[in-house]
Amino acid sequence: MEQATERKKVVFSAIQPSGTVTLGNYLGALKNWSAMQDEYNCIFALADLHTITVRQEPAQFRKNIYEAYATLLACGIDVEKSLFFVQSHVNTHAQLAWVLNCYTQFGELSRMTQFKDKSAKHADNVNAGLFTYPTLMAADILLYQADLVPVGADQKQHLEITRNIAERFNGLYGNVFRVPEPYIAKSGARVMSLQDPTKKMSKSDENVNGFITLNDAPEVIMKKFKRAVTDSDACVKYGEGKDGINNLMSIYSTITGKTFEQIELEFEGKGYGDFKTAVGEAVVEELRPIKERFDQYIKDKAYMQECWTKSAETAQRFSQRTLDKAMKKIGYVLK
């Protein structure tokens, strides 16, 4: 008798459609999203409900949603293999978020470092949504009974509070939510600014030479890498006090699959100029097909709408079962 095939684990991940996608976003997360789809049941969302904790200009916000969806399709999300929808198209997210708000402690939310950081950054708009943001994130994850959630260092606290909320709810009502684990990618890089390699690469960097975007032209990418901050050592070697070179080596390694030892051997006796050119060229070649696919998708809004509508319908059915179960346990009368 054949053995039953093991259930594929569910991975949930979401990204905000907040404009520019950087090389850091791509190498740190999106490249892995594409690679996960054969091994896991992947559920991806554009977290547009989260985005309005910061005030948006409507026309630009709408444009960002289309561009983010096109970008992620171009990076390899396959809607035949995975669900990929727009969060606001699935109303269970907002509904479960309210329920979970009532099972989340004020003190827990006030300790979230992202709330403190964003409150300082947007002091003129410290809204309640910014405060309860982690509860909506918990709802996103728990609705799909996710086993795994890919998290960067800056998201670990959010997954921790999600686990706490799930355990608290399960403790009261029995086994309603699967308690998710962090997914640590086998490959991936924490990409730092090309101008200040002690800081993470960010589109909000005031110095445009600090970050690469997926839409940068090849000549712009090459120029930015040639201007990348290094050190006076002139030796391509990974080590302490060599933040700039460490960052470039990490980028080159993630794209080419070469180890740091192999990279050191490849550039032995060569200067930083040669190395920066090689890294720039590797990035240009990696991003070229993504840019070409993006240009195709962004012209075909009907196709994107078809993709996200189909995914949202499946997500709605799946998540409704979890929501109904949670509400029934609390004592709600379901229609």
Supply the residues annotated as catalytic: 118, 200, 203
The rounded distance, in Å, linking the Cα atoms of 156 and 151 is 6
Q: How many helical (H) and strand (E) elements, i.e. helices and strands, does the chain have?
A: 14, 5
The rounded distance, in Å, linking the Cα atoms of 59 and 67 is 12
- Helix locations, 37-155, DSSP H: 48-51, 58-74, 92-101, 106-110, 113-121, 128-142
The rounded distance, in Å, linking the Cα atoms of 17 and 12 is 16
Query: Which two three-digit tokens encode residue 163?
Result: 């686990």
Query: Which two three-digit tokens encode residue 220?
Result: 């712009």
Decide if 86 contacts 46 (C-beta within 8 A): yes
Q: Is 179 strand, coil or helix?
A: coil
Residue with tokens 């049941």: 41
Q: How many other C-beta atoms are found inside a 10 Å radius of the C-beta of residue 164?
A: 17
